[in-house]
Amino acid sequence: MAVPDASSIAVIAAPVPVPVRGAEIRLLRLPLVEPFETSFGRTDSRLVVLVRLDAEGASGWGEVVAMETPSYSYETATTARHVIRDYFVPALLKEPVAGLADLARRFAVFRGHPMARAGLELAFVDLVARLRGEPLARVLGGTRQRVAVGVSLGIQPALPALLERVERHLALGYQRIKLKIKPGWDLDVVAEVRRRHPGILLSVDANAAYTLADREHLKRLDAYRLLMIEQPLEVDDVVDHAALQEELETPICLDESLTGLQRVRQALALESCRIVNMKVGRVGGYSQALPIHDLCRAQGVPVWCGGMLESGIGRAHNIALASLAGFTLPGDISASRRYFARDIIAPEVDVAGDGTVAVPDGPGFGYEIDMAYLEERTEAVERFAR
Ligand code: OSB
Ligand code: MG
């Protein structure tokens, strides 16, 4: 993965190179309050991979957003542990790290595995923020004090269950409702939600469930004034999406297809999408996310922060990132309790009645870690020292 040569990355440097002394990979399982179903499958509990880096009495934490199975992308919790343990950690511990660009360059000799490398970049930037005594959001260049949020609602066994969830989350203040769709759970569902809620910001996410042969079917979504249709076509495609976007009035937003700065640049040049879903894990870390943000902002392309059912640690990073000026649409950054009965951070992420989440102003990502609950849920820990 080529390292972008961008000023936004260069500013994430430590006063002196950070002598990272220890690294930890931790696996834990958090039960979900209800199963989450997308076109690629159903998730009943979240297997979370956390990474921690230690230096000079401080610790930085990151989350690897890979899922348990290679369904959203090819990475899994197991492939991430393997490449982190065998390749990324040795590169990181080899010598003190001068900054984010230095770290990204060390990882650049390896191909793929964006979520694994992102986990370490997240931990490193959190560590740098703590060593500088600054909030992560400020270190990243964020300017907002609160971020706007929406909710992503999974496929339900029947329509009434979905309608109830739409109503409940609107009442809680969520600014945008996103419906997961797939063939057989699309037009009728969208029509009914739109009929009941004519004025809301409504979008759909297909998680790559259609092909260009479905273009006539997908064009019928134009009748419902959707904010966007997210990732209608194949995971690695930007060419067919351009053909589809030409025929659709509804803006296409790409998620799975946007695997790094280069792909975002190509997608915008081809007009494969008009909106960008940012997931720092999917794009390979802050070293890609920040230049992607800057590119989209310069071109006037709206960006919003996607989600991967993260634990509080991944969510805290998303909140910091979404505080950057280019994030102009509500993110998939829902309250902790929308996913988990208990989160591993304190306080838990809370959504205010106006559909916003506060950006913490403490050092690093700004939440405490509930170590007692973290330990209770931990299934495996691997530690490495320099
Ligand atoms: O496509 O945005 C997606 C969850 C897991 C994997 C992929 C996606 C999602 C979501 C939920 O839509 C986002 C969230 O609330 O964390
Ligand atoms: Mg998506």
According to the model, what pLDDT value does residue 2 have?
A: 82
Cα–Cα distance measured from residue 152 to residue 154, given in angstroms and rounded to the nearest whole number: 7
- pLDDT tens, residue by residue, 94-137: 999 999 999 999 999 999 999 999 999 999 999 999 999 999 99
Cα–Cα distance measured from residue 365 to residue 317, given in angstroms and rounded to the nearest whole number: 6
- Answer yes or no: is pLDDT of 18 > 90: yes
Confirm whether pTM is higher than 0.85.
yes
Structure letter (DSSP) for residue 214: G
What does the angle CA 335 – CA 264 – CA 135 come to, to the nearest 5 degrees?
A: 40
Q: Calculate mean pLDDT across residues 249-273.
A: 98
Cα–Cα distance measured from residue 256 to residue 265, given in angstroms and rounded to the nearest whole number: 15
According to the model, what pLDDT value does residue 8 have?
A: 82
- Answer yes or no: is pLDDT of 14 > 80: no
Cα–Cα distance measured from residue 246 to residue 330, given in angstroms and rounded to the nearest whole number: 25
Cβ(63)–Cβ(116) under 8 Å? Answer: no
Closest C-alpha among 30, 27, 28, 29 to residue 342: 30
Residue 357's identity, in one-letter code, is: V
Q: Which atom of ligand 1 is found nearest the CA of 315?
A: 16
Distances (CA, A) of 195 to 202, 244, 296, 328, 332: 12, 26, 33, 26, 23
Q: Which helix (H) or strand (E) holds 338?
A: helix 336-339
Structure tokens at 92: 């990181």
Mean pLDDT of the chain: 97
Q: Whose CA is nearest to atom 12 of ligand 1?
A: 152
278 lines ligand 1 (CB under 6 A): no
- Answer yes or no: is pLDDT of 4 > 90: no
150 lines ligand 1 (CB under 6 A): no
According to the model, what pLDDT value does residue 357 have?
A: 98
How many angstroms separate the alpha carbon of residue 56 from the centre of ligand 1? 36
Ligand at shortest distance from the CA of 151: 1
Cβ(291)–Cβ(261) under 8 Å? Answer: yes
- pLDDT tens, residue by residue, 186-232: 999 999 999 999 999 999 999 999 999 999 999 999 999 999 999 99
According to the model, what pLDDT value does residue 274 have?
A: 98
- pLDDT tens, residue by residue, 50-67: 999 999 999 999 999 999
Cα–Cα distance measured from residue 6 to residue 91, given in angstroms and rounded to the nearest whole number: 22
According to the model, what pLDDT value does residue 6 have?
A: 81
According to the model, what pLDDT value does residue 9 have?
A: 84
What does the angle CA 183 – CA 188 – CA 189 come to, to the nearest 5 degrees?
A: 85
Distances (CA, A) of 175 to 80, 87, 95, 331, 351: 34, 41, 45, 9, 10
Catalytic residue among 94, 178, 180, 182: 180
